[in-house]
Each structure stands twice: as structure tokens, then as C-alpha cells.
Structure 1
Amino acid sequence: MEYLNLDAQVGDLSGVLEPARYLDHLPSISGDLPPGARAFATDTDHYDFQSRRCVKDLTPRAVRSAGGEEIEVEFQHNCWKHDHDLVIRYTGVSSFIIDPTDEDRGAGLGTVILDEILPHRDGCSHEIACWGGTLTIVCRDLQAIWTEADCSSKW
């Protein structure tokens, strides 16, 4: 992450997630982002930890090739926070990297901590930090689609 701090210090408390530096920088770079990436990055709910449309605590569920240079990443809701799932469609993908923090773990990336979308010569880069690793996609543009989730778990 270039601007997001995933291990900020606030008083005596460490390990605090702090998007302020990125949010302060976002207005100066948003015009350089492709339209879909700009809409997703600048959505007021995106970094609002209390919002049902904040990416924090979503879980990557599936990655699918949509043919050619298109990839879809599906994120599952967390019923305590979200009422929608998220699918991000990436077009013109020039780079796709999954970097697990522990290669032997095999448990997937875990839940999303935060993400950062930046301009790139190929369009934009989208880095998604999760508890178990990082997913980084460079693409021409992306489209974020929120779909209603089924939170009727049977306890």
C-alpha cells in the first residue's frame, strides 16, 4: 500500500487501520482514474467502517476469468456488517497477483482489511490487503457491483 496505513499508531494503540492519507490524496488523483475505478474509489461509503458498503471485512470467495483480459473477483458479505455481496469486474487486465502471507497455510486470503486504487499507465492498479495476503490487479478499468446478500443464517 502506498498511502493506506494498515499499522497506524494512535496514542498507545498500535495496529490501527488509517485510510486518511489515501483519502486526502484521492481528490488529486481521482481525475486520473478510469471512470469505474474513480466511482468505486470515491464512493463515500467505501472507507466508512460503519457503512454496509465498506470493503473492510468482506471475504474473497471466487476469482473467475471472464475471457480474454477480463477477471471477476467475488467478495462475500459479513452478515454482522454487510447486507450485500460485491463483485468487481476488471477489464483489460495486464497483471493479476495473489501474494499469500503464508504459502503453506492454504486457507485463502481471509477477510479484507482495506484496499487502494491508484492510477497506472495501463489504467489503474487495485491492491486489496487481506489478513492472509494481498491481491493486486492492474487493469484498464473496473466495475464494482453490489448485489443483495442472503443473511438469513440458521443459528
Structure 2
Amino acid sequence: MEYVNLDAQVGDLSGVLDPARYLSHLPLISCDLPPGARAFATDADHYDFRSRRCVKDLTLRAVRGAGREEMEVEFQHNCWKHDQDLLIRYAGVSGIIIDPADEDRGADLGAVILDEILPHRDGCSHEIACWYGTLTLVCRDLQATWIGTICSSES
């Protein structure tokens, strides 16, 4: 991550998630983001840890279309925080990197810690940090859609 700090220090507490530097930089770069990426990155709930539409703690469920120009990445809610799943459709994909922390895990990256969307010469880059690795996509634009679901003890 270029701006989001995944290991900030607050007093004596380390390992704090801090998107403040990214959020302060976002107004300077938002006009350089494609429309869908801009809408998703600048959504007031995106980095609000108390919001049901914060990406933190979603679980990466599926990556579909890897190696194609059109891709989908699906994230599953967890009922104690979210009431919807998140589907992100990427158009004009020119790069994808799945970087697991442990090669044995493959594409199972676990729960989302935080993400960062930045302008790129091809449109935008979207880096998603998870507990067990990172997923980074470069694309012309993305469309994020929250999809209703029913939470139960079996979810």
C-alpha cells in the first residue's frame, strides 16, 4: 500500500489500521480515477470501520475470469458486521497479481484488512490487502455493487 498504513502506531499500541493518509490524499487524486473507481473509493462508508459498507472484514470468496479483460471479484459478508456481500466487476483488466503470504494457500487470501485505489495509466489500480496475502488489479474501471443477503448462524 502506498498510502494506507496497515501497521500504524498509536501511543503504545502497534498494528493499528490507519487509512488517514490515503483519505487526505484522495481528494487530490479522485478526479484522476475512472468514474466507477472514484465512486467506490470516495464513498463515505468505505473506510468507516463502523459502517456495514466498510470493506474491512469482508472475506474474499471468488476471483472469476483471471487472465481475461473482464473480471469479477466476490467478497462475502460476515454477519456480525455486514448485511451484504460485495461484488466488484473490473473492465479492461491489464494486470492481476495474487500474492499469497503462504504459497500453500493459493488464492485463499482470507479476510480483507483494507484496500487502496489509485490512478494508473491504464485507468486505476486496486490493491486489496487480506490477512493471508494481497490481490492487486489494474483496470480501465471497476464497478462495486453491494448485494443483499440473509445472515444466519450458518453463514
TM range (shorter): over 0.9
Q: 1:49-97: per-residue Cα shift (whole Å, max 9, x none)?
A: 0000000000010111199400000000010000000000000000011
Q: Could you say which residue in structure 1 is the equivalent of 2:41? A: 41
Work out the number of aligned pairs and report it. 155
Distance in 1, Cα, partners of 2:38 & 2:26 = 9
Please state if 1:147 is matched with 2:147.
yes
Distance in 2, Cα, partners of 1:120 & 1:40 = 16
Give, as a single letter, the amino acid of the residue that structure 2 aligns with 1:50. Answer: R
Q: Could you say which residue in structure 2 is the equivalent of 1:113? A: 113
Gaps (5+ residues) in structure 2? none
Gaps (5+ residues) in structure 1? none
The sequence identity of aligned pairs, in percent, is: 82
Closer, same or farther in 2 for the Cα pair 1:66/1:3, shift >3 Å?
A: closer
Runs of 4+ in structure 1 over 4 Å off: none
Q: Could you say which residue in structure 2 is the equivalent of 1:97? A: 97
- TM-score normalised by L of structure 2: 0.96
Q: Could you say which residue in structure 2 is the equivalent of 1:26? A: 26
RMSD between aligned residues? 1.6
Deviates more, 1:123-132 or 1:105-114: 105-114
Distance in 2, Cα, partners of 1:27 & 1:149 = 32
Secondary structure in structure 2 of the residue aligned to 1:104: helix
Tell me if the contact between 2:66 and 2:96 (Cα under 8 Å) persists in the aligned partners.
no
Q: 1:14-61: per-residue Cα shift (whole Å, max 9, x none)?
A: 000000000000000000000000000000000000000000000010
Deviates more, 1:103-112 or 1:88-97: 103-112
Distance in 2, Cα, partners of 1:105 & 1:89 = 24
- TM-score normalised by L of structure 1: 0.96
Q: How far did 1:104 drift? A: 2.5
Q: Could you say which residue in structure 2 is the equivalent of 1:57? A: 57
